[in-house]
Structure 1
Amino acid sequence: MTSLKFAKRISRRDPENADLHDLVGNYVILKHEACYSFYAHLHPETVQVKAGDNITAGQLLGKVGHTGNSTSPHLHFQLMDSASLMQAKGLPCAFTHLEIYADGTWTKVDRAIPASDARIRYV
């Protein structure tokens, strides 16, 4: 994988006057063989990569944060067909080695495409 685009910004937290990059806060976009992955709302000063870096599986990109238009610390992740946030279409994503939370219980799953409102964690 190659880090295609990187921006380190702290939002004004003014959604009425913000552009798209202000809304996503600190972010990383990685170029893969057939798609791009997008990681947003990263914590300030924790992003470990820069444009042009070669990235390996498991490498730390940054830490979960609360930048941009965010109500609490979290990671926004998506796969997309373009590096352009304004033009990209989202793509389905399957996760491996995860747990899905439902009815008060975490259930281990080897591979799944979680529902859009699912609460998941990596194991």
Structure 2
Amino acid sequence: MNIILLSGGSGKRLWPLSNDVRSKQFIKLFKNNDEYESMVQRVYRQVTTVDADAKITIATSKSQASAIKNQLGEKASICVEPCRRDTFPAIALAAAYLHDELSVAENEAVVVCPVDPYVDNTYYE
């Protein structure tokens, strides 16, 4: 399954913890066993726990691409938006990226999900 995770927001609702430099999805707030993880790490872990073969692409802005690489390494592909244009353009760009760059067929299922939901694994099942 192909999954697009949306991670483009600035997360200013958690100010002063989050801001334009450090968005909320990268702050390690959630305890997993003995370590803390960020929203993006948690969602990635939850998805891959349910489906280890899930193909995950993260749609994000230029300013967040390095934070995603720092937290996930090369585990997920990253589709970088040239500028912020809200949700629908991010989804459209990521879908074109899947088709054009990753050779995902037009008839393959694609799931779109934000990186900031706080849900248990049954949501992804």
Alignment TM class, shorter chain as reference:
under 0.3
By relative contact order (CA 8 Å, sep 6+), the higher-ranking structure is 2
Q: Which has the higher strand share?
A: 1
Q: TM-score, normalised by structure 2?
A: 0.26
Q: TM-score, normalised by structure 1?
A: 0.26
Which structure's CA Rg is the greater one? 1
